[in-house]
């Protein structure tokens, strides 16, 4: 049984003006996601600014999310690190508080080999019992999970079940599913969700879902229910919004968008800084055209 099918949100972490996590607001946005049909919540990923949280904050946010969701939909915790020992520790602690699965990013900066990826991910998987979705995003980490490496891991490590594929390459997705059809593939790029699903992907781990959860859910559900024409139409109709939400480094635009919508998710943590004025105008226009702003 797959971890989830459809639209998973890569949820933001709201902060107070002093930089602390705003748990009252976090509860609100979690509830909004559940109410609007999101199929899974991915907490402490890239969009959640996990890289700038302390380990204590990281684990506290995961625990809070698990308790707030209360088994209504799966909670997937980002517990990856460029240090294998740290990834093992975070994964074990997340398992203790009841997450349904883990998201493991490729170790960044180290630029390990494919053999190193196999050892790293296998060590993490052997330390826990819950499913693991790997996260391949070379643009941020400097290393790609090659299809053959992914296939080896899925076939030989029982609780490594799939991948969040953010290479931007449909050819890579096709290769993965051709040599390892049992791999659960989730799009890591909002702009090619339906193309990836057409190759056998199960859904998306989405940034757009932070501002349009019902829309992304319905788009994925349309495809899963066999209405390919509607799903494709919805994919194309969100293109301007998706482009604007990635015109600067994620999650800069999406947090601005949520604040513009009155969701009050607060500031970014440095080194992320507010949007440039010209890009903010672009974001506002895209949101207006999509119906998120008047």
What confidence category does residue 18 fall into, taking pLDDT thresholds of 50, 70 and 90?
A: very high
Does 250 fall in a domain?
A: no
Task: Output the pLDDT for position 101.
Answer: 98
Average pLDDT over residues 17-40: 98
Does 290 fall in a domain?
A: no
Does 262 fall in a domain?
A: no
Alpha carbons 111 and 288: distance in angstroms, whole number: 41
**Catalytic pick among 164, 186, 223, 255:** 164
What confidence category does residue 191 fall into, taking pLDDT thresholds of 50, 70 and 90?
A: very high
What confidence category does residue 24 fall into, taking pLDDT thresholds of 50, 70 and 90?
A: very high
Q: Is 25 in the active site?
A: no
Task: Output the pLDDT for position 108.
Answer: 95
SS3 helix, strand, coil % of the chain, rounded to 5?
A: 50, 15, 35
The pLDDT tens digits for 104-139 are: 999 999 999 999 999 999 999 999 999 999 999 999
Does 175 fall in a domain?
A: yes
- Token pair listed for 272: 């992320």
pLDDT at 96 over 90: yes
- Computed from CA positions of residues 217, 222, 176, 39, in that sequence, does the dihedral angle turn out positive or negative? positive
Does 289 fall in a domain?
A: no
**Catalytic pick among 25, 63, 135, 186:** 135
pLDDT at 216 over 90: yes
147-156 helix and 170-179 helix, angle to the nearest 10 degrees? 40
Does 264 fall in a domain?
A: no
- Count of domains forming the chain: 1
Does 146 fall in a domain?
A: yes
95 is in which domain, residue-wise? 6-232
Question: In terms of Cα–Cα distance, which of 184, 178, 19, 164 is closest to 78?
Answer: 164
We report the CATH number of the domain holding residue 148 as 3.20.20.70
The pLDDT tens digits for 149-184 are: 999 999 999 999 999 999 999 999 999 999 999 999
Q: Is 164 in the active site?
A: yes
φ, ψ for residue 214 (rounded to 5)?
-65, -40
Task: Output the pLDDT for position 212.
Answer: 98
Long-range contacts of residues 120-123, Cβ cutoff 8 Å, at least 24 apart: 120/84, 120/87, 121/153, 121/157, 121/160, 122/153, 122/157, 122/160, 123/84, 123/88
What confidence category does residue 94 fall into, taking pLDDT thresholds of 50, 70 and 90?
A: very high
pLDDT at 60 over 90: yes
Question: In terms of Cα–Cα distance, which of 73, 26, 57 is closest to 258?
Answer: 26
Does 215 fall in a domain?
A: yes
The pLDDT tens digits for 195-204 are: 999 999 999 9
pLDDT at 1 over 90: no
Alpha carbons 204 and 180: distance in angstroms, whole number: 19
Average pLDDT over residues 45-50: 98
Give percent of the chain above pLDDT 70: 100
């Amino acid at each position: 049984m797959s971890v989830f099918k459809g639209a998973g949100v890569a949820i933001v972490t709201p902060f107070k003006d002093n930089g602390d996590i705003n748990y009252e607001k976090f509860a609100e946005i979690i509830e909004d996601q559940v109410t609007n049909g999101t199929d899974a919540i991915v907490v402490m990923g890239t969009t959640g600014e996990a890289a700038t949280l302390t380990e204590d904050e990281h684990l506290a946010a995961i625990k809070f999310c698990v308790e707030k969701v209360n088994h209504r939909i799966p909670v997937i915790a980002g517990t990856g690190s460029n240090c294998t020992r740290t990834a093992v520790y975070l994964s074990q602690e997340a398992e203790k508080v009841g997450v349904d699965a883990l998201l493991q990013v490729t170790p960044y900066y180290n630029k390990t080999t494919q053999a190193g990826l196999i050892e790293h991910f296998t060590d993490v998987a052997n330390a826990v019992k819950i499913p693991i979705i790997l996260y391949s995003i070379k643009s941020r980490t400097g290393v790609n999970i090659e299809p053959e490496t992914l296939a080896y891991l899925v076939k030989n490590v029982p609780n490594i079940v799939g991948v969040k594929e953010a290479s931007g390459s449909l050819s890579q997705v096709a290769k993965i599913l051709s040599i390892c059809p049992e791999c659960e593939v989730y799009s890591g790029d909002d702009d090619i969700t339906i193309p990836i699903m057409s190759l056998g992907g199960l859904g998306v781990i989405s940034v757009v879902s932070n501002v349009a959860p019902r829309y992304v859910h319905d788009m994925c559900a349309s495809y899963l229910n066999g209405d390919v024409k509607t799903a494709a139409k919805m994919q194309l109709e969100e293109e301007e919004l998706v482009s604007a939400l990635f015109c600067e480094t994620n999650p800069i635009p999406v947090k601005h968008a949520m604040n513009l919508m009155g969701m009050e998710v607060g500031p970014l943590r440095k080194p992320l800084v507010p949007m440039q004025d010209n890009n903010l105008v672009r974001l506002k226009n895209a949101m207006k055209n999509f119906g998120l702003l008047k």
